[in-house]
Structure 1
Amino acid sequence: MLLKFLGTGTSQGIPVIGSHHPVCLSKDQKDKRLRTSALVTSDSGKKILIDCGPDFRQQMLMNNEEQIDAVLITHEHNDHIIGLDDLRPLIFKNKSSMPIYCNSRVAAEIKNRFPYAFIEHKYPGAPSFDLFEIEDAFTLFDEVQIRPIDVIHSEINILGFKFKNLAYITDASKIDVEEKKKLKNLDYFIINCLRKTEPHHSHFILPEVLELVEELKPKQTYLIHISHHLGFHEEVETELPDNVHLAFDGLEIEF
C-alpha cells in the first residue's frame, strides 16, 4: 500500500495570505503547504482519500490523480470537508455516488453543508454522496482493513485512522490511554504538529509530539498540519531526532 501526502499545512495553508513571515516567503517547495489531506492506494489500486478540504481540486491536478473510490473524514471543520463538492467529476465518471465514511456528528454536518447532495430531486450537476457512519473497525473493497482511532481536538472527539501498522492522526490535542494502546510500536506514525512553542488549545506542538513518540515508540514519525511558525522545512529537519521527519506535499510512504 502507498500513502501520499496531498497537503501538510494548517487551515490557512502556507504561505498565509498577506503574511510576510520568512517561511511564507520561502522559495523552497517543501515550505509551501496545502491544507492537510492524504491519499491511500491499496494493493489492488483502489484510492482512499483522507479528508477533502478546499485545496482538493488543486491537489488532484498537481499529483495527476484521476480517481477516488472512497473518502474518510476525520472531522467536520471546513479545511477537512469543504472540498467535497469538487468530487463531482469523479462521481459523474463513475456514474455512482461517492462513499464517505465518518462519525455520526460529521455525517449530520455534511448533510447540513451540502443539502443539495441529498435531496430527492437534485438539480443537474449536483454531487451524490453515500454516508456510512463509522462505529468500529471496518474493511473497504474486501482488502483494506481500517481501524478508527478516537482522539480529542480541543473539545470534540475526532477520528484518526490505522491501516496495517501505519496510523494517520490530524488535529489532535489529546489521546486517551486506551486509544494510545492502538498506537504502540507502529511502523509509521503520522501526527499533527502546529509549531515549536506556545501551547495550543486544539493542536499538538513539537514538545508534546516528541513526548508521544518517546511513549509510543514508532519506527518512523511524520509531522503534518504544520504552520509557518514551526520554521523552515530544511532547518527543522536537522533539529529533529533521526526517526522524526516533517512530511511535505507530494511525499509518498510505502507500507
Structure 2
Amino acid sequence: MYFYKKFNLKITFLGTGTSQGIPVIGSSHPVCLSEDKRDKRLRVSILIEWENYAYVIDCGPDFRYQMLRANVTRINGVLFTHEHADHTAGLDDLRPFSFQLGSVPIYAQKRVMDNLAFRFDYIFNDENKYPGAPSVQQNVIDNQEFKLNNLSVLPIQINHGKLKIVGYRFNNIAYLTDVKTIDASEKEKLKNLNILIINAIRFKPHHSHLNLEEALDLINELQPKKTYLTHISHHLGFHAEIEKILPENVFIAYDELVLEIN
C-alpha cells in the first residue's frame, strides 16, 4: 500500500514530443507545418514543483531551451526514466544548476547510471573530470519508494519494449512515458489516481510504445480521474482534431501546459 503526505503540486510540461520532436527536421508532413503552437513539441519532460522544491523528470537534448522557456532558475534534482538520448542528452546543461548547488542530485536505476557514466565520462570520472563540467550527486534507485525531501516517490517498473524502465508516482499523480506494457504487479501501484500522464505515440502499432488504442485501453483499465497523453509523434495528427475524439476525461498534453493540483 502506498501512503503519502498531501502537497499542492504544480506540473509543467516542458516537452511532449517523441525522440525527433515536432516539427521533424526536413519533414513536410502537415502536422510539422502546423501553425498551432500545441503541435510544436520538444522532447518529453516535465517539471514538478511543491513548496520550495523543483525537480525535472528527464533532461533531453532540448533541456537548456526548456529551462529558459519556462523561466526555471533553480532545480533540486533530476529523475531519469531510462537512458535513451531523448531523455538524457541534456545532462551537460545541468552546469548552471551545478554551479548553484555544488552538485545536482540525479536519480536513476543502476543500469542507467552506469550508462550515463560511460557516455559522460568527463562528468562522472573524478580523475578525468573536465573543470567546467557539471557535478552530479548519484542516487541509485530500485523499485522501492524513496523520498525527495518531504515528498514520497514510488517508482513504477514498466516495459519499453524489452527494456525495463521506470515511471514515477507522486501522491495521486503518475508519470509514465515510453510504456509498451506494464506487469500486473506494477499496475497495483497505479490504483486511485487523480491524474495519469502516459504516452500515446500514434495510431499505428509501435514495437516499444503504446499507440492511441492501447493507451486508451490501459486508461480504461486503470480508471484514473483524468489522463494527459504525452510522447506524441506527428503521426498522431493535429492536436485540435485528436482532442475531439478522446473520451471526456482524456486530454492531449502540450508544451508549456501547467497543471495545478491540490
TM-score, with normalisation over the residues of structure 1?
0.97
Q: Which residue of 2 aligns with 1:246?
A: 252
Unaligned runs of 5+ in 1: none
2:53 is matched with 46
Contact 2:117 2:125 survives alignment (8 Å): no
Moved over 4 A (4+): none
**Counterpart of 1:138?**
146
> What is the alpha-carbon distance in structure 2 between the residues aligned to residue 47 and residue 187 of structure 1?
21
1:67 partner letter: R
Aligned to 1:58: 65
Write the distance in 2 (CA, Å) between the matches of 1:254 and 1:162. Answer: 16
* Count of residue pairs the alignment pairs up: 251
Deviations 1:20-58 (A, max 9, x none): 00000000000000000000002x221111000000000
Confirm whether residue 169 of structure 1 aligns to residue 182 of structure 2.
no
| Residue equivalent to 2:35 | 27
Using the TM superposition, give the Cα deviation of residue 220 of structure 1 relative to its aligned residue in structure 2, in angstroms.
Answer: 0.2
Residue in structure 1 matching 2:161, options 154, 164, 177: 154
Please state how far the C-alpha of 1:184 moved relative to its aligned partner: 1.9
**Cross-structure match for 1:182:** 189
Root-mean-square deviation (Å): 0.8
Q: Select 1:69's aligned residue among 53, 57, 76.
A: 76
Q: Counterparts of 2:57 and 2:196 in 1: how far apart (Å)? A: 15
Q: Distance in 1 between matches of 2:259 and 2:183?
A: 27
Task: Provide the C-alpha distance between the structure 2 equivalents of 1:224 and 1:140, rounded to a whole number of angstroms.
Answer: 24
C-alpha separation in 2, matches of 1:118 and 1:53: 18
Cα separation, 1, equivalents of 2:29 and 2:130: 44
Distance 1:90 1:127 in 2: 8
Q: Could you tell me which residue of structure 1 aligns to residue 104 of structure 2?
A: 98
**What amino acid does structure 2 have at the position aligned with 1:38?**
I
Question: What CA distance in whole angstroms lies between the structure 2 residues aligned with 1:119 and 1:48?
Answer: 24
Q: Percent of aligned pairs with the same residue?
A: 55
Query: Which ranges in structure 2 are unaligned for 5 or more consecutive residues?
Result: 1-8
Displacement of 1:119: 2.3
Contact 2:123–2:130 (Cα < 8 Å) also in 1? no
- Equivalent residues in 2 for 1:155-234 (5 A)? 155-196=162-203, 198-234=204-240
- 1:5 matches 2:18: no
- Paired with 2:202 and 2:89, the residues of 1 have a C-alpha distance of 24
TM-score by length of 2: 0.94
